[in-house]
């Protein structure tokens, strides 16, 4: 049946504003975010937030900023009216949190809004009301310098939107999340929040970045967070970075505990998330995400923030530089810390809490850590915004292009467990002389005991250290394999009689895809008929350890059948090297002599990330002196 084309008509102003509000105002938390950002852009040093019924019935934001002149109050409620940009070129160097000029107009289209404001030049305040498309005349009012914006009955005229809101408790939590995030980014600003007349947050203005972050995250995490900092900055490119990264015990199932701020703006960026993930590779278990709070400062011209309605996503002009800078800075911070967890803290990473473990004990950091970098970063954050003085931000750390210690160390030969550990003592001593140990004191110099042919018990300056011999040796093997294969293919052992591996036609077809990887691993395998693969050459160190070639190839084909396995990728190579290291390493149940135990612990001091096996599980845990004293009732 033929239809008649509908005529094109301009939308009524109110309807257009309500549609625009759908992009910006999703829930009460969106209103809180937009209003707080406006206050911060206006130079507020104290902010008060009042919520009723989770912000559904009332949101009131009061600041002590420079205020809005009476003549500008109607314009503040007009669509796309702003004092923050004037020309198209301004979009290339946005240094404020807000800039689009649609926030107040969008809020007023779906709520009842009252603005009371006073500038330092006026003896009295002025007020204006807005509801839908109705705006009242400006009237005089009493009030201090600054602005107070009250938003009532959110979505009162769009009931379909209102019914999708969650419970008041949920909406209140979302609002508080935004308040805490903005407070974390602006430690020099005081924040006070009340919910239904009850104070729920009170942050003074004299906080430094670390102090403010811990006030929000929790003081109990103080010794589980490491300062990370870097400075590679000039007028137009580079970045300055300060932040706190959690030790592996704080890894969580989701990335919700990663907060990234750019020039005071909370952002979500896949480039930075990937850099954080790569920096923690091998320290946390697959599927878990590190805890991190990162504050980046860049020239506004080096980043485009006008790519998302809620301004959460950005586009970097040089994303590879940002990735490299964040990755290098976090790696340096992790290398400077002792990652051996105290008993009772490793439970956070997924393991069960040990009987008798003391709650509240945490990872111990290398002595000497200080907040110097945080203090310097704080002085930068206190500078007036949006006039940013990037050339004053110097001395946070060494340049990011400084060499980073390698992830593995070269060796003259791969380790053959139980036979060649002792032969590596000379190499260990040489490496220890040129690399700072990751432990407070070398474990190999202390008494050592093997327990149940699986665990190695010794002491250091902080207490008793218990080492999983298989996990530690697996890490050592993995690092040496990774280093060796980056220089040349692994050495292969020619088999006198080929080993036959029965396979399906589908698995046989994977052989060609895997061949470049097999060549690097020292494996030569060829089809033998339609349902068999003959292994003619096998890695020497696996052969010496008695690893079955058929079992190894079966496991490799299992990995190759996964949808996410790309044989030519670095991640796939690491996955296979991990499997090889696991098969070749000392096993639980292998009895080691005293010289072998000493040499195994000596190797721990020479490889990066020796605190965790390649799967991310801890290789060792510590029972501190303080814990021992508590267990025996001495404190």
pLDDT in tens, 28-73: 999 999 999 999 999 999 999 999 999 999 999 999 999 999 999 9
Total residue length of the chain: 635
Q: Residue 5's pLDDT is what?
A: 72
Work out the average pLDDT over 372-385: 46
- Report the range of poorest mean pLDDT among 21-25, 140-144, 614-618: 21-25
For 116-171, the pLDDT digits (tens) are 999 999 999 999 999 877 899 999 999 999 999 999 999 998 888 898 899 999 99
Q: Residue 326's pLDDT is what?
A: 93
Range(s) for CATH 3.30.565.10 in the chain?
13-203
pLDDT above 70 (res 218): yes
Fold (CATH) for 405-635: formyl-coa transferase, domain 3 (3.30.1540)
Fold (CATH) for 209-392: Ribosomal Protein S5; domain 2 (3.30.230)
Instruction: Measure the CA–CA gap between 92 and 301, rounded to whole angstroms.
Output: 5
**Domain range 13-203, CATH class:** alpha beta
- Report the range of poorest mean pLDDT among 403-412, 535-544, 597-606: 403-412
Cis before residue 386, ω within 30 degrees of 0?
Answer: yes
Q: Tell how strand 46-52 and strand 190-195 pair up.
A: parallel
Q: Residue 445's pLDDT is what?
A: 63
Q: Residue 290's pLDDT is what?
A: 92
| Highest-pLDDT range among 184-198, 541-555, 583-597 | 184-198
Residue 599 CB partners (closer than 8 Å, separation 6+): 421, 422, 424, 425, 428, 444
pLDDT above 70 (res 360): no
Instruction: Measure the CA–CA gap between 351 and 612, rounded to whole angstroms.
Output: 13
- Measured from the Cβ of residue 120, the count of other Cβ atoms closer than 10 Å reads 8
Work out the average pLDDT over 364-389: 40
* SS3 label, residue 527: strand
Opening angle at CA 122, ends 118 and 126, nearest 5: 45
Range(s) for CATH 3.30.1540.20 in the chain?
405-635
Work out the average pLDDT over 429-447: 51
Q: Is 521 exposed, middle or buried (0-12, 13-18, 19+ CB in 10 A)?
A: buried
For 289-341, the pLDDT digits (tens) are 999 999 998 888 888 887 766 678 888 989 999 999 999 999 999 888 878 77
Nearest partner of 378 among 228, 239, 538, 206, judged by Cα? 206
Q: Residue 441's pLDDT is what?
A: 53
Chain mean pLDDT for the chain = 80
Q: What DSSP designation does 615 have? A: T
Instruction: Measure the CA–CA gap between 417 and 597, rounded to whole angstroms.
Output: 11
Q: Residue 440's pLDDT is what?
A: 47
pLDDT band at 533 (very low <50, low <70, confident <90, very high): very high
The tokens describing 259, both together, are 């907060």
Q: Residue 19's pLDDT is what?
A: 63
Nearest partner of 246 among 231, 263, 228, 261, judged by Cα? 228
Q: Residue 395's pLDDT is what?
A: 30
Q: Residue 251's pLDDT is what?
A: 86
pLDDT above 80 (res 418): no
Q: Confirm whether pTM is higher than 0.85.
A: no
- Report the range of poorest mean pLDDT among 18-22, 143-147, 387-391, 530-534: 387-391
Q: Residue 630's pLDDT is what?
A: 87
The tokens describing 229, both together, are 């900092």
Work out the average pLDDT over 370-376: 44
């Amino acid at each position: 049946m033929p239809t008649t084309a509908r005529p094109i008509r301009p939308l009524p102003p109110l309807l257009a504003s309500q549609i625009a509000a759908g992009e910006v105002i999703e829930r009460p938390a969106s209103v809180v975010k937009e209003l707080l950002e406006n206050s911060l852009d206006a130079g507020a040093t104290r902010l008060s937030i009042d919520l009723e019924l989770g912000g559904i019935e009332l949101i009131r934001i009061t600041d002590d900023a420079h205020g809005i002149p009476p003549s500008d109050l109607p314009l503040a409620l007009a669509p796309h009216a702003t004092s923050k940009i004037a020309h198209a070129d301004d979009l290339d160097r946005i240094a404020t949190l807000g800039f689009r000029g649609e926030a107040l107009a969008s809020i007023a289209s779906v709520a009842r809004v009252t603005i009371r404001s006073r500038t330092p030049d006026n003896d009295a305040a002025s007020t204006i009301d807005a509801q839908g498309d109705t705006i009242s005349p400006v009237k005089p009012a009493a009030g201090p310098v600054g602005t107070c914006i009250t938003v009532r009955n959110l979505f009162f005229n769009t009931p379909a939107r209102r019914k999708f809101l969650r419970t008041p408790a949920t909406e209140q939590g979302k609002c508080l999340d935004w308040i805490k995030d903005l407070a974390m980014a602006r430690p020099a600003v005081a924040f006070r929040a009340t919910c239904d007349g009850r104070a729920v947050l009170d942050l003074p203005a004299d906080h430094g970045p670390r102090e403010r972050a811990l006030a929000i995250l929790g003081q109990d995490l103080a010794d589980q967070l490491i300062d990370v900092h870097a400075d590679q900055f000039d007028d137009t490119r580079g970045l300055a970075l300060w932040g706190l990264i959690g030790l592996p015990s704080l890894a969580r199932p989701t990335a919700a505990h990663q907060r990234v701020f750019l020039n005071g703006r909370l952002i979500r960026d896949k480039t930075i998330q990937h850099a954080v993930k790569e920096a923690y590779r091998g320290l946390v278990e697959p599927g878990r995400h590190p805890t991190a709070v990162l504050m980046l400062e860049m020239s506004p011209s080096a980043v485009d923030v006008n790519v998302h309605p809620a301004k959460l996503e950005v586009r970097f002009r040089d994303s590879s530089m940002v990735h490299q800078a964040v990755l290098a800075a976090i790696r340096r911070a992790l290398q400077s810390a002792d990652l051996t967890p105290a008993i009772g803290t490793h439970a956070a990473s997924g393991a069960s809490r040990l009987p008798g473990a003391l709650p509240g004990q945490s990872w111990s950091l290398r002595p000497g850590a200080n907040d110097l970098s945080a203090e310097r970063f704080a002085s930068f954050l206190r500078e007036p915004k949006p006039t940013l003085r990037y050339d004053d931000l110097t001395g946070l750390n060494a340049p990011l292009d400084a060499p980073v210690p390698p992830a593995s160390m070269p060796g003259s030969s791969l380790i053959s467990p139980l036979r060649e550990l002792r032969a590596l003592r000379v190499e260990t001593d040489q490496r220890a002389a040129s690399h700072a140990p990751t432990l407070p004191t070398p474990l190999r110099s202390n008494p050592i005991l093997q327990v149940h042919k699986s665990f190695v018990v010794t002491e250091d300056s902080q207490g008793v250290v218990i080492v999983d011999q298989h996990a530690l040796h697996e890490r050592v093997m993995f690092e040496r394999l990774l280093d060796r294969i980056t220089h040349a293919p692994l050495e292969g052992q020619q088999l006198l009689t080929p080993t036959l591996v029965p396979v399906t036609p589908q698995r046989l077809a994977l052989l060609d895809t895997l061949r470049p990887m097999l060549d690097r691993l020292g494996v030569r395998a060829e089809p033998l008929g339609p349902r068999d693969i003959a292994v003619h050459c096998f890695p020497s160190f696996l052969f010496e350890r008695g690893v079955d070639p058929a079992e190894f190839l079966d496991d490799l084909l299992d990995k190759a059948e996964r949808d996410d396995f790309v044989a030519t990728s670095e991640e796939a190579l690491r996955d296979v090297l991990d499997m090889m290291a696991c098969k070749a390493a000392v096993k639980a149940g292998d009895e080691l002599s005293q010289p072998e135990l000493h040499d195994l612990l000596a190797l721990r001091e020479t490889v990066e990330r020796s605190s965790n096996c390649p799967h991310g599980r801890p290789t060792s845990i510590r029972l501190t002196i303080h814990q021992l004293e508590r267990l025996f009732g001495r404190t």
